Amino acid sequence: MITVRPNLLRIDGMFLGFGQTDDFWSQVSRTGNADDCWIWQGERSRSGHGCFRPQYRTGPGRRLWAHRIAYMLSTGQQLGKGLCVRHTCGLACCCNPFHLIAGTPAQNRADYRRHKALEEALSESDRQTIKRCNVSVGTLVRRFGITPGIVWSIRYGKPGARHANLKQAA
Ligand SMILES: [Zn+2]
């Protein structure tokens, strides 16, 4: 499913080894389906983004954005300066690498507006269908022209912040 690269990885200034990457993935609820959002179970910022704090023998490291780690671990690529990791699914706490692409902050803002418009275009009856029907996320995405994150939010509610001190970064 995910290939964790064997060497020590440097991500946003922190080195992550096996212990840290195992700990990272243990906090992501993964499914075998590429359409599903993989929800970050740990701390979240006010914006809803996951925050991961690597633990070392010497103590805890500083907090990193979970979606950026998921992107870099699964692609093996470092992000260029000024680039952010965008959620094609529209769910900030999602760590499914299939839903993550690199882009500019302007593209990220455009994504947000587009996802919001898609969600607002749904009727109440559409929302009830999405909430109650027993079909896959992918089927709903295709049928309603929405994103996996919209399906998730309608079914389970918007994930709230669990840690409010982080500034919105990437
Ligand atoms: Zn997602």
The whole-model pTM stands at: 0.86
Structure tokens, 18: 């096996």
Can you give the three-state secondary structure of 115-129, one letter per residue? HHHHHHCCCHHHHHH
**CA 20 to centroid of ligand 1, rounded, Å:** 22
112 conformational bin, left if phi > 0, alpha if psi -120 to 50, beta if neither: alpha
Confidence of residue 28 (pLDDT cuts 50, 70, 90): very high
**CA 114 to centroid of ligand 1, rounded, Å:** 15
Structure tokens, 36: 């599903």
Q: How far is CA 60 from CA 44, 45, 52, 56, in A?
A: 17, 18, 10, 6
**CA 58 to centroid of ligand 1, rounded, Å:** 33
55 beta partners: 60
Answer with the residue of higher pLDDT: 161 or 76.
76
CATH number of 9-119: 3.90.75
**CA 151 to centroid of ligand 1, rounded, Å:** 10
CB 143 within 8 A of CB 112: no
pLDDT digits (tens, 9 = 90+) for 71-127: 999 988 888 888 999 999 999 999 999 999 999 999 999 999 999 999 999 999 999
**CA 57 to centroid of ligand 1, rounded, Å:** 32
Low-confidence winner among 15-19, 58-62, 121-125 (lowest mean pLDDT): 15-19
Mean pLDDT, rounded, for 124-146: 95
